Structure 1
Amino acid sequence: MSAGTEERLRRWRLVLGDAGNSDGTGCSLGGTDAAMDRTLEALYGSRGGRNGGKGTSPGGQGRGGERSAGLGGSAPQVARWLGDIRTYFPSSVVQIMQRDAIERLGLSALLLEPEMLEAVEADVHLVGTLLSLNKAMPETSKETARAVVRKVVQELEKKLASRTRATLTGALDRSAKVNRPRHRDIDWDRTIRANLKNYLPEYGTVVPERLIGYGRASQSVKKDVVLCIDQSGSMAASVVYASVFGAVLASMRSIDTRLVVFDTNVVDLTDDLDDPVDVLFGTQLGGGTDINRALAYCQSKISRPAETVVVLISDLYEGGIRDEMLKRVAAMKAAGVQFVTLLALSDEGAPAYDREHASALAALGAPAFACTPDHFPDVMAAAIEKRPLPVPEA
């Protein structure tokens, strides 16, 4: 048997679990592979193999009713398993396996224990789970939970802050047109387009009657940004990213940022924007949704509509008064507000959302679309400059 064939059989054996022996691989595992197989079996041991079957119960019942490896309900046992998967798999795979363990085996309650929190590989999804458990979390776990959340937030800020500030600073400068700029501040693209009527074909040139320049930072008009975030359970990752972006925007002098979260109640967390961890622990994931009530609050805080961008982050499953919600959006847009609707702000792919409400908003000139964190600065820059929003292709 060739080395390539042996490697393929080995991989199939790891994918299929114990079913691999009965389904034809005939491959036995030893050493590190056997240990890796045990960590997979603890989570994915299944009727019919790992590739598509149901997961084991927390008690670890495996194929054919026979007891197989499992995580059980013991925090020390789960903590050891978390250590094992970090030994055998890369970080990206570890995060997926942790997420699957929480969903398949119902381990959320164990995250309330400090030793468990210290063992996990922190990511956005884990933060969302911790926030959903916030109210049930014992005091002994809260300090550790905040440390886990802070680690993720700091990593996100490091990744996202520089580009966001650079992109939005450019947008703020360009939004302030200067008609008598110094030579180095001339926006040649806008100047040429504004003076095309003065094109002289015999000379192949444009004679500019009016120069348009970039506004310098000190000349930029200050913008007001309102982030209105749905904190229903399905929006967990979006809440995390939006809180980080809120803190970044609040750090910019030319942007006055307000952050509002809502379910059936509305909470203004603007005073906590200097620390996104405080913002996140001020949310309460889950519950119903009243978008109309949240927009009514945001609308009441707008004093300069022509210089305001409202960003609604919601899957649009409205539990409030639909017609009033749409009327509020229409009224804000008529007053000059730039209104942005994001169905999700995350890397999770296409979200589930209320298509009827999305279509109604699009008809008002407020298209609703999902947005990745990497794309968010470009969306905000377009809103600030009052350009068409760069809606990603479906």
Structure 2
Amino acid sequence: MSGSSEPQEERLRRWRLVLGGGDAEGTGHELRGRDAAMDGALAALYGRRGDERRPGGGRAGDDRGERSAGLGASAPGVARWLGDIRTYFPTSVVRVMQRDAIDRLGLSALLLEPEMLEAVEADVHLVGTLLTLNKAMPETTRETARAVVRKVVRQLEQRLATRTRAAVTGALDRSARISRPRHRDIDWDRTVRANLKNYLPEYRTVVPERLIGYGRAARSVKKEVVLCVDQSGSMAASVVYASVFGAVLASMRSLSTRLVVFDTSVVDLTEQLDDPVDVLFGTQLGGGTDINRALAYCQSRITRPTDTVVVLISDLYEGGIRDEMLKRVAAMKASGVRFVTLLALSDEGAPAYDREHAAALAALGAPAFACTPDLFPEVMAAAIEKRPLPVPDVTG
């Protein structure tokens, strides 16, 4: 085959995989071997409208079709399909296809089968689905589900814990320093380094224009962090990340951390923060939203407002009393609380959110923005130091 024909052949191959075959697809290209297997895996999920095959055989909505193609509405069939897509596609694509299978073909119930869970590529979105199904999960599946969740949590902790502890510890140290310390509270090492520009070689000395103190009294008082997390269904990934961050922050002796999750009711999961898996299985994803009630609970637990950071993680679709919610935020800020609103805590892009409520919070000096997990440590550090947050307001 000549060099000029190879690109054309590759283009036909790719178009054939995209279009899925059929009388009108027009490529005239026949798939063989590995390509045919890839096409079968794609067709099981993205079959042509009117000829969609449910994973496991049969058309979507019709379990009477042949079972020789597709996945079949059974755990072994789904497991085989999962094995296929993990063979033929990269991990990032596998995760997208898994989510599409769950969403498009109504396969959530199949996640209740241990065989299925052992085969699935675990990620944050799968954990969110498992948490949604938690109450319906049979006992035979529960331990397998916990193992899947623990695997993902461990990966997230390895990725995020070190950076979070470093950023927050640095912020606590900086916020504890005082600029006019008494003589016994001067941190001479930091003071000398901060004033090296004032070194006088003829006197072989440094003129300390700025003194930096240890701030012992300030450091003896723990900063308080309250994570107030919306557990409505759309916030699943945010709940997973917030639980991991909550556990990391709770492990720091210099902080007092509280984790509160809410829908139309409020649950305080602080006592479970030593194990984020227990936290996650203590949530109940789905249901309505009452931000006002959740903030009322958090407000009642604040004992030192000027030493407290409240992080509300919600898409702000309030089902409670809007004006009361805004009054509570204003009251907390007036008392000295640093209030942060995250529309999402996830790797995805801009989330859907209530723009009117976000604008109202911004008007109170509490701008709302989406935050990635990698940025969260810096957001917390800025909040603790009471300096500008590192993310622009997205409500404008």
TM-score (normalizing by structure 1): 0.88
Partner of 2:189: 184
Partner of 1:156: 156
Give the Cα separation in 2 of the matches to 1:187 and 1:84: 63
Partner of 1:202: none
Partner of 2:120: 120
Partner of 1:244: 244
Find the partner of 2:34 among 25, 32, 35. Answer: 32
- Contact residue 10 and residue 27 of structure 1 kept, 8 A: yes
Partner SS, residue 186 of structure 1: helix
**Residue 239 to residue 124, structure 1, CA distance change in 2 (3 Å):** same
By how many angstroms is 1:185 displaced? 1.7
Task: Work out the number of aligned pairs and report it.
Answer: 373
By how many angstroms is 1:22 displaced? 3.7
Amino acid at match of 1:181: I
Of 375-384 and 6-15, the range deviating more from structure 2? 6-15
Amino acid at match of 2:20: G
By how many angstroms is 1:91 displaced? 1.1
Give the Cα separation in 2 of the matches to 1:38 and 1:215: 66
Give the Cα separation in 2 of the matches to 1:218 and 1:313: 28
Partner of 1:18: 21
Partner of 2:203: none
Partner SS, residue 32 of structure 1: helix
By how many angstroms is 1:183 displaced? 3.6
1:9 equivalent to 2:31? Answer: no
Give the Cα separation in 2 of the matches to 1:286 and 1:141: 21
Partner SS, residue 312 of structure 2: strand
Q: Which ranges of structure 1 fall in alignment gaps of 5 or more residues?
A: 49-53, 199-205
Partner of 1:201: none
Give the Cα separation in 1 of the matches to 2:192 and 2:227: 31
Partner of 2:294: 294
For residues 1-394 of structure 1, the aligned pairs below 5 Å read 2-19=5-22, 22-47=24-49, 56=53, 60-61=58-59, 69-178=69-178, 179=181, 181-186=186-191, 208-213=208-213, 219=219, 221-392=221-392, 394=394
**Residue 242 to residue 73, structure 1, CA distance change in 2 (3 Å):** same
Give the Cα separation in 2 of the matches to 1:75 and 1:217: 60
- Contact residue 187 and residue 212 of structure 1 kept, 8 A: no
Measured against aligned partners, the alpha-carbon deviations of 1:89-121 in whole angstroms (never above 9, x if no partner) come to 111111111000000110001111111111100
Give the Cα separation in 2 of the matches to 1:284 and 1:364: 31
Q: Which ranges of structure 2 fall in alignment gaps of 5 or more residues?
A: 199-205
By how many angstroms is 1:141 displaced? 0.5
**Residue 376 to residue 79, structure 1, CA distance change in 2 (3 Å):** same
**Residue 100 to residue 214, structure 1, CA distance change in 2 (3 Å):** farther
Sequence identity (%): 79
Amino acid at match of 1:372: T
Give the Cα separation in 2 of the matches to 1:393 and 1:5: 48
Measured against aligned partners, the alpha-carbon deviations of 1:2-55 in whole angstroms (never above 9, x if no partner) come to 222222221222122114x7433222111111111111111111139xxxxx95
Partner SS, residue 227 of structure 2: strand
RMSD: 2.6
- Contact residue 173 and residue 216 of structure 1 kept, 8 A: no
Give the Cα separation in 2 of the matches to 1:210 and 1:75: 68
Measured against aligned partners, the alpha-carbon deviations of 1:287-326 in whole angstroms (never above 9, x if no partner) come to 1111111111101110011100000001111111111111
Give the Cα separation in 2 of the matches to 1:296 and 1:334: 15
Amino acid at match of 2:173: D
- Contact residue 371 and residue 392 of structure 1 kept, 8 A: no
- Contact residue 176 and residue 221 of structure 1 kept, 8 A: no
By how many angstroms is 1:57 displaced? 5.1
Amino acid at match of 1:327: K
Of 361-370 and 71-80, the range deviating more from structure 2? 71-80
TM-score (normalizing by structure 2): 0.88
Give the Cα separation in 1 of the matches to 2:371 and 2:103: 25
Give the Cα separation in 1 of the matches to 2:214 and 2:5: 66
Give the Cα separation in 1 of the matches to 2:132 and 2:192: 48
Give the Cα separation in 2 of the matches to 1:13 and 1:184: 68
- Contact residue 292 and residue 320 of structure 1 kept, 8 A: yes
Give the Cα separation in 2 of the matches to 1:332 and 1:290: 18
**Residue 115 to residue 222, structure 1, CA distance change in 2 (3 Å):** same
Amino acid at match of 2:190: D
Partner SS, residue 332 of structure 1: helix
- Contact residue 161 and residue 248 of structure 1 kept, 8 A: yes
Give the Cα separation in 2 of the matches to 1:15 and 1:393: 39
- Contact residue 250 and residue 274 of structure 1 kept, 8 A: yes
Partner SS, residue 343 of structure 1: strand
- Contact residue 313 and residue 342 of structure 1 kept, 8 A: yes
**Residue 217 to residue 95, structure 1, CA distance change in 2 (3 Å):** farther
**Residue 72 to residue 212, structure 1, CA distance change in 2 (3 Å):** same
Partner SS, residue 110 of structure 2: helix
Give the Cα separation in 2 of the matches to 1:219 and 1:232: 37
